[in-house]
């Protein structure tokens, strides 16, 4: 989860988020090199009394500063396109989870099992345990197995919402009348938090997402208990 004063991304819990972190670092290094180079040239020209006339009007340098950005854009665009295609790919999911956004809570349905669906409301601060996280705790956690490809179908019942979990690299709009799709693969156990990322009304800030990743054996036991209940 995010912490106060955090400047970087949350720790990645999925391969896609790891790839996003790599792409961010790659792009940041390119931008840093460009910034240093431009700052050096500007500083050298500013403190130099004798400016070379070829810097003010010259075909060679104009050709250079036209071609160079093309290579820079290619260096940034190629990894970006690769990542976009990877994010759109859904590789034979083992479990399908349907998510519906409401004003102002989320409801979940495990489509592969019968009668497993529930609503997930934020727990008010005065009803929370002492070790609870304000504005993030919910009454019903979304439980999924780790090291398993999970497909998520996302829609909304009333207005626009957005289902987003930063540590998984997932952010998909929930649109009324439309079914959007994404997938993720959690590579470690834990609890991962998200929030609605589309302004949806007065209580937009009070519809958190709480995903619990557990082992496959524990998930099977949880499913059996839910089916019995």
pLDDT digits (tens, 9 = 90+) for 101-117: 999 999 999 988 888 89
pLDDT tens, residue by residue, 47-100: 777 666 656 666 777 788 888 889 999 999 999 999 888 888 777 888 999 999
Q: Is the pLDDT of residue 187 over 80?
A: yes
Q: What percent of the chain has pLDDT over 70?
A: 95
Confidence tier at 133 by pLDDT (50, 70, 90): confident
Q: Which CATH number fits domain 95-228: 3.40.50.1240, 2.60.40.420, 3.40.190.10, 3.30.450.70?
A: 2.60.40.420
**pTM score of the predicted model:** 0.81
Residues 170-176 have a mean pLDDT of 93
Residues 6+ apart with CB under 8 A from 133: 1, 193
- For the chain, give every domain's residue range: 15-88, 95-228
Q: Say how far apart CA 63 and CA 106 lie, in whole Å.
A: 55
The residue-averaged pLDDT of 221-225 equals 90
Q: Identify the pLDDT of residue 56.
A: 62
**What pLDDT score was predicted for residue 55?**
61
* Helices of type H across 14-103: 15-46, 53-56, 59-88
Residue range 145-159: average pLDDT? 92
Which of the four pLDDT bands, split at 50, 70 and 90, describes residue 175?
A: very high
Q: How far is CA 148 from the centre of its chain?
A: 18
Measured between alpha carbons, how far is 209 from 121 in angstroms, rounded to an integer?
Answer: 9
């Amino acid at each position: 989860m995010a912490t106060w004063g955090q400047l970087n991304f949350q720790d990645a819990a999925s391969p896609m988020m790891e790839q996003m972190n790599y792409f961010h670092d790659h792009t940041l290094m390119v931008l840093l090199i460009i910034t240093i180079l431009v700052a050096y040239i500007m500083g050298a020209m500013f403190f130099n009394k004798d400016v070379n006339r070829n810097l003010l009007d010259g075909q060679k340098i104009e050709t250079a500063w036209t071609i160079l950005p093309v290579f820079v854009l290619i260096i940034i665009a190629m990894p970006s396109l690769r990542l976009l295609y990877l994010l759109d790919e859904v590789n034979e999911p083992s479990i399908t989870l349907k998510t519906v956004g409401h004003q102002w809570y989320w409801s979940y349905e495990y489509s592969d099992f019968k009668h497993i669906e529930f609503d997930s409301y934020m727990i008010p601060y005065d009803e929370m345990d002492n070790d609870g996280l304000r504005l993030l705790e919910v009454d019903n956690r979304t439980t999924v197995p780790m090291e398993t490809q999970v497909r998520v179908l996302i829609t909304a019942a009333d207005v626009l919402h957005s289902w987003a979990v930063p540590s998984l690299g997932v952010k998909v709009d929930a649109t009324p009348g439309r079914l959007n799709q994404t997938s993720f693969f959690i590579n470690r156990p834990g609890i991962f938090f998200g929030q609605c990322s589309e302004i949806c009304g007065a209580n937009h800030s009070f519809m958190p997402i709480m995903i619990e990743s557990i082992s496959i054996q524990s998930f099977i036991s949880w499913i059996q208990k839910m089916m019995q209940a």
